[in-house]
Chain A
Amino acid sequence: MQLERPESVDAAVAALADGRALAGGTELVPLLRDGILEADTLVDVRDAVPRGISGGTIGAGTTLAELEASPEIPAALREACRLAASPQLRNMGTIGGNLLQATRCWYWRLQFPCRLHGGDICHAHEGQHREHAFFANDFCASAHPSDPAAALLALGARLRTDRRELEIAELYRLPTEDDRSTTTLAPDELILELELPEVEASTYLKAMDRQRWAFALVGVAAARVGGETRIALAGAAPIPWLLSGPGELDEATPLEGTAFKVEIARTLVTRAIASL
């Protein structure tokens, strides 16, 4: 394995043609060491990707710890970062990397031949799945773990990559028989910046098994943007889940062991909206 450290976006993208992007390393390094991912070349993109907060613009290389501490950041995102992972992981992990983190599904992490690994069954359906999805879980019941992604989805953030601008919702796709990926990012595409709209009010509420350092059983982000209230969920579906409204929870499709998550989501959505 070799490591490159390009200093410009162009050089980074060129290097990514046959390499993997490395920023905070909190996700990539363990996955490499587990053999879930392989790479001949690691591309340390920290010199190429913007870092820092300026008005509504956030460099994708900004760490979760920096976002958590910034008064410029809307409450939902700040709180989502504050309640994410552990302090050390927040010090290391970047917001760009966080949006791309893989599920915590134990079957996937332990390399059961599941659908996300190209296999033909979802082991969680008949197996242990209390931390799994209750929306869009038929093909794959994995739950997306990112708290900040849910917050950004509710806030209506836009992303700028080296080649396009997109709504954050467009970054994600549900895995299908033909394409098991959960993002629309090209292998050599780099997220560079996030753009936030003017936010009137926002909040993030998270249910987890510990007070800190646990992935969301359910995370609820709510934001009022341009008079409109938007709600998004973490830990609810294979991707961050935009909820059309509280009523959509009636259409949830929980597995036997994730029904409790819907109940929690109902409470947290009500509380989140009330707090705006």
Chain B
Amino acid sequence: MARLIRSEKEVEGRYEEVWTLVEEDALDQWSAGPGAVVGRDAPRLDGYEKARGEARYTGDIKLSGMLESALLRSPYARARVAKIDLAAAAAAPGVFAVIGPGEVWGVDEEVHFEGGAVAGIAAETLAQARAAVELIEIEWEELEPLLDADEAVKRGSTIQDSRSYERGDYEQGLAQAEAVVEAEYTTQTLNHNPLETHQCVCEWRGDSLDVYVSTQYIWGLRRDLAEKLDLPQDKVRVICEFMGGGFGAKNGIGNYLLLAAELAKRTRRPVRCALSRREENVVGGNRNATRQRVTAAARADGTLTALGGEYTCALGWEGWLPPTAGPVQLLYACENVKTVEHGAKLNIPPMAAFRAPGFVEGTWSLECVLDKLAAQLGVDPLELRKLNYAHADTMDGRPFSSKNLMECYRRAEPHWERRHEVRARSDEIWKRGIGMASQSWYGGGGPPSYAWVRLGSDGRANVVTAMQDIGTGTRTAMAMIAAEELGLPLDRVEVQIGDSARGPFASISGGSSTLPSMGPAVRSAAADAARQVVELAAQRFEREEGTLALQGGNIVCSDGGSWPLEEITALLDDGQILGKGARGPNPAGMRVLTFGIQLAEVAVDVGTGEVRVEKIVAIHDVGRVINPLGARSQIEGGVIQALGHTFSEHRLDDPRTGTVLTKTLDAYKLPTIADVPEIVCDLVDEPDTHLTNLGSKGLGEPPIVPTAAAIANAIRDATGADVTSLPITREEILRALREADAKTKRKEPVAAGTS
């Protein structure tokens, strides 16, 4: 029965109370462990298309008569258009339409960050569009930009009110402590840099708009475009068959979309708008920089008595305040916690959600300071984490739907025990050590999400839902879930996704929510189809429904009877069995989180500040694993992105002008294959028995969360040096080594490894 419930909806750590239509989820979970398909390695269904270059991305779409477009963007962090003359540009070769400031949402006379758009041009070729942009005569009035986050907070220039949280009595917690460690940490601005930049093709068909776009949220985009263009939602069709990565940057709408839609309207031709790599590195979204002051206090045995943090986030001109204090609030049982988060509104490009926003930054500082505390108390860091284990939600006492972090800790032990052996391999140049960091994050997904399953007369199934696959392999996971439920081999299941006109509502590919949101809906749809098959089979073969099941492509009866599925479906001729499924509600009164721990083994060249990560062990608890092969890819991918965040990636802005200097991929350094250590993946594959009909949580984000802190802790273990800023560049290592050396000379205790 459909039911309207008032429930918490969480995306990327942002909660809101919403009305949600849910349908009861009557299916029992499958038993733990691998099934016929689920829980077994499956190469992705679209692997060949992608590997052979056949997968059609937005940039590969070529519609007849299609025009290309380019934007005029502000070279200044803050400026006003004093004068603009579009005539010369409009008259340039190949130009079809020109849009100036104020004509489209997000294309304005005043710009508040570098890259703010003031005009757009559609022309026959991209080269013509770009050349015409150069012909726009413009006079800028430069305005003084606000670039310093602390200054902004002081002046009250914030995106939203500062967010304070307190539980227990923080001051008293500090007073009870045997040891208090307080330290300041910083993190850098990071760019998502999906290899496919933001891009779209807009085509009007009558009064309807087709939008081919690289997006993480087909339905959110449909809604926002309809609203901005004042169209009924069904007049906007959003198509994203393949997309070349997003990592949070492509969750929402952008002015390039509105611009393309308007240019297409004016020219009556399809118009493509694709950001260049340099535009992507300015306005494509970013993980905001932070400055964090974190305090951890504990009794002599390591019991935490107080945790505190003050966080200043340099959000840019727009955005939202990510849950940077989340780890301090959620990760450990600590009665006295106090945090405050400030979100500075600055004349720099807006932040966007980036793979576990807030938690990546907040875990870095918390897990570093915790190891310093452990060292000061002489408590083993792993023991410290076990000792302060949160058995229930630390914020409101709710039970967890499932939590196997202790099992993760147990599995970490043999790796942690290697530390003496690892350290013993140090030599004059290379100092070696091991560090660890824990992790918690959301990832439970939620309703609504819908799927249909079509069963054809050839005995093959097609999962239909208008979701997108950002690259995590959710398309394949959906097929596996349907195959498992229908008792079909995987090669008899297709998945049709990526088109809002050709499938029901599906959730965002963000917040580690796609699998836990969509998977249960797909299973429910497959179960609906399976039920109908059983009903028909019972009539056809004159058996009781209760004696029949689908298995291995057959309808089997408990009396030993077995018939190929096609014997029933063939009766349908061209007809089909249609199964419909919806995502059920999340368990009431429970907190759904993901957990994990990572260990890093590093070698530090104390002469040059080079750090080589030799091994990362990633142990995560995300409920039932649908596709172990794909899950492993998610863990490795998260860890590798974290390695970039830890060492080489850094968006550098010119301090004088507030403009981005690292616009290109030689200067903004993503990790290469040569930077990748051995990565050991270990998943606690325990279904969350309270969570939906699957028991699966999301895995897209958890693996990126603890890596940087584990590495920093390993560096301290190896050298005694405390790194406090990301990225951990050579200059940061050399600085920290000098600082540790000075402490040693003053005979102060160095917070190095405890033994």
Residue numbers in A under 8 Å from B160 (CB-CB) = none
B residues in contact with A123, CB < 8 Å: 654, 656
Q: Say if the beta carbon of B220 comes within 8 Å of chain A.
A: no
Are B667 and A106 interface neighbours, CB within 8 A? yes
Q: Are A214 and B662 in contact (CB under 8 A)?
A: no
| A209 proximity list for chain B (CB < 8 A) | 647-648, 669, 729-730
Indicate the member of B647, B675, B730 with the most A CB atoms within 10 Å. B730
Interface string of A258-271 (1 = CB under 8 A from B): 01100110011001
- From the candidates B609, B653, B671, name the one contacting A264 in the complex (CB within 8 A): B609
User: What separation, in Å, do the CA atoms of A127 and B655 have in the docked complex?
Assistant: 6
Is B31 in the interface zone, CB < 8 Å from A?
A: no
Question: What CA separation (Å) do A110 and B660 show in the bound complex?
Answer: 10
Q: In whole angstroms, how far apart are the Cα atoms of A148 and B608 in the complex?
A: 21
Interface residue? A43 (CB, 8 A): no
Residues of A contacting B674 in the complex (Cβ-Cβ under 8 angstroms):
210-213
Chain B residue numbers with a CB within 8 Å of A271 are 607
Q: Which of A104, A127, A267 contacts B654 (CB 8 A)?
A: A127
Tell me the minimal C-beta distance from B690 to chain A in angstroms.
Answer: 44
User: Nearest-CB distance from A201 to chain B (Å)?
Assistant: 20
- Whether the pair A106, B734 counts as a contact (CB closer than 8 A) is no
Task: For the complex formed, measure the closest distance between the CB of B186 and the CB atoms of chain A, giving whole angstroms.
Answer: 15
Q: Does B731 contact A (CB under 8 A)?
A: yes
Chain B residues with CB below 8 A from A210, complex form: 647-648, 669, 671-672, 674-675
B663 to A110, Cβ gap below 8 A? Answer: yes
Q: Flag whether B661 is at the interface (Cβ < 8 A).
A: yes
> Known: A106-B662, A215-B666. Is A260-B672 also a contact (CB below 8 A)?
no
A contact residues around B656 at 8 Å (CB): 123, 126-127
Q: State whether A260 touches B607 (Cβ < 8 A).
A: no
Q: Please tell me if A241 contacts chain B, counting CB pairs below 8 Å.
A: no
Q: List which A86-144 residues lie within 8 A (CB) of chain B.
A: 104, 106-107, 109-110, 123, 126-128, 130
Q: Is B532 located at the chain interface by the 8 A CB criterion?
A: no
Please pick, from B608, B661, B731, B735, the residue contacting A107 in the complex, using a CB distance under 8 A. Answer: B661
Instruction: Please give me the residue from chain B that is nearest to A258 by CB atom.
Output: B731
Q: Is A45 an interface residue (CB 8 A)?
A: no
Does A16 lie at the interface of the complex (its beta carbon under 8 Å from any beta carbon of B)?
no
Is A128 within 8 A of B672, CB to CB? no
From residue 141 to 170 of chain A, which have CB atoms closer than 8 A to chain B?
none
Is B652 part of the contact surface with A, judged by Cβ < 8 Å?
Answer: yes
> Which of B666, B671, B731 makes the CB contact (< 8 A) with A130?
B731
Determine the distance from Cα of A210 to Cα of B654 in the docked complex, in whole angstroms: 23
Interfacial chain A residues near B608, Cβ < 8 Å: 207, 264, 267-268
Is A217 in contact with chain B by the CB < 8 A criterion? yes
**Which residues from A are CB-within-8-Å of B669?**
209-210, 214
A264 & B730 in contact (Cβ 8 Å cutoff):
yes
Given contacts A209-B669, A210-B671, A264-B609, contact A106 B652 (CB under 8 A): yes
A128:B655 contact, CB within 8 angstroms: yes
A207 and B731 form a contact (CB under 8 A): no
**Residue B730 contacts which of A127, A128, A207 (CB distance < 8 angstroms)?**
A207
Give chain B interface residues in 660-698, CB to chain A under 8 Å: 661-664, 666-667, 669, 671-672, 674-675
B610 on interface, CB distance cutoff 8 Å: yes
B609 and A260 contact, CB distance less than 8 A = yes
Which residues from B are CB-within-8-Å of A110? Answer: 659, 661, 663
Residues from chain A with a CB closer than 8 A to the CB of B653 are 128
Contact with A along B726-755 (1 / 0, CB 8 A): 000111001100000000000000000000
> Whose C-beta in chain B lies nearest to the C-beta of A257?
B731
Nearest B residue to A270, CB-CB:
B607
Interface residues of chain B: helix, strand, loop or mixed (majority): loop
Query: Using Cβ atoms and an 8 Å threshold, which residues of chain A touch B648?
Result: 209-210, 214
Q: Output the nearest chain B residue to A85 by Cβ-Cβ distance.
A: B666
Chain A residues, Cβ within 8 Å of B729: 130, 209
Q: How many interface residues does chain A have, given as a range? A: 20 to 34
Q: Which residue of A128, A213, A215, A268 contacts B652 across the interface (Cβ within 8 Å)? A: A128
A209 to B652 CA separation, bound complex (whole angstroms): 14
The A174-233 residues at the B interface (CB cut-off 8 A) are 207, 209-215, 217
Residue among B654, B655, B735 with most chain A CB within 10 A: B654
Contact A267 to B655, CB < 8 A, known contacts A107-B661, A130-B729, A215-B666 = no
Write the A240-276 contact mask toward B (1 if CB under 8 angstroms, else 0): 0000000000000000010110011001100100000
Q: How far is the CA of A123 from the CA of B655 in the complex (A)?
A: 10
> Chain B residues with Cβ under 8 A from A212's Cβ?
672, 674-675
**Using Cβ atoms and an 8 Å threshold, which residues of chain B touch A211?**
672, 674-675
A257 to B731, CA, bound (A): 9
Chain B contacts with A in 359-407, Cβ cutoff 8 A: none
**What per-residue 1/0 map shows which CB atoms of B308-337 lie under 8 Å from chain A?**
000000000000000000000000000000
| A157 nearest CB across to chain B (Å) | 26
Closest B-chain residue to A130, C-beta based? B731
* Contact between B666 and A260, CB atoms less than 8 A apart: no
B665 CB to nearest A CB, Å: 9
Complex Cα gap A128–B664 (Å): 15
Q: Compute how far the CA of A212 lies from the CA of B648 in the bound complex, rounded to whole angstroms.
A: 11
Q: How far apart are the CA atoms of A107 and B656 in the complex, in Å?
A: 12
CB distance from B127 to the nearest CB of A (A): 10
* Residue contact B664 to A109, C-beta cutoff 8 Å: yes
Given contacts A106-B661, A209-B648, A210-B648, contact A217 B730 (CB under 8 A): yes
- State the CA gap A130–B662 with chains docked (Å): 12
- Chain A residues within an 8 Å CB radius of B664: 109
Select which of B652, B655, B667, B730 is within 8 A of A260 by beta carbon.
B730
* Residue of chain B at shortest CB distance from A131: B667
Inter-chain CA distance A217–B733, complex, in Å, is 14
Give B664's nearest chain A residue, CB to CB: A109
In the assembled complex, the Cα of A264 lies from the Cα of B610 at a distance in Å of 10
A39-66 vs B, Cβ < 8 Å mask (1 yes, 0 no): 0000000000000000000000000000
Q: Which residue of A lies closest to B653 (CB)?
A: A128
Which residues of B from 590 to 618 have beta carbons under 8 Å from A?
A: 607-610
- Of all chain B residues, which has the CB nearest A145? B666
Q: Which residues of B contact A268 (CB under 8 A)?
A: 607-608
> Is A128 in contact with B654, judged by CB distance below 8 angstroms?
yes
Q: In angstroms, how far is the closest chain A Cβ from the Cβ of B116?
A: 17
Q: Which residues of A contact B672 (CB under 8 A)?
A: 210-213
Residues of A within 8 A of B671 (CB): 210
Q: Which of A106, A126, A214 contacts B655 (CB 8 A)?
A: A126
Complex contacts, A260 vs chain B, CB 8 Å: 609, 730-731, 734-735
In whole angstroms, how far apart are the Cα atoms of A128 and B607 in the complex? Answer: 24
Chain B residues closer than 8 Å to A215, beta-carbon distance: 666
Chain B residues 66-122 with CB under 8 Å of chain A are none
- Selected contact of B607 from candidates A106, A127, A257, A267, CB within 8 Å: A267
Question: How distant is the Cα of A106 from the Cα of B609 in the complex, in angstroms?
Answer: 24
Q: Which chain B residues border A259 with CB–CB below 8 Å? A: 731
The chain B residue with its CB closest to the CB of A89 is: B666
Which residues of B have CB within 8 Å of A130?
A: 729, 731
**Bound CA span A212–B659, Å:** 27
* Docked complex Cα distance between A268 and B610 (Å): 12
Q: Which residues of A are found within 8 Å of B666, using beta-carbon distances?
A: 104, 214-215
* A130 vs B729: C-alpha distance when bound (angstroms): 10
B667 smallest CB distance to A (angstroms): 6
Residue in B closest to A265 when the chains form the complex, CB atoms: B608
Nearest first, the 7 closest Cβ-Cβ pairs linking A and B are: A267-B607, A260-B731, A211-B674, A212-B674, A106-B661, A128-B652, A209-B648
Q: List 20 A-B contacts (CB under 8 A).
A: A104-B667, A106-B661, A106-B662, A126-B655, A128-B655, A128-B661, A207-B608, A207-B609, A209-B648, A210-B648, A210-B669, A210-B675, A214-B648, A215-B666, A217-B730, A257-B731, A259-B731, A263-B734, A264-B609, A268-B608
Apart from A207-B610, A210-B674, A213-B672: 11 A-B pairs, beta carbons within 8 A: A104-B666, A107-B661, A109-B664, A110-B659, A128-B655, A209-B730, A210-B675, A211-B675, A214-B669, A260-B730, A260-B731
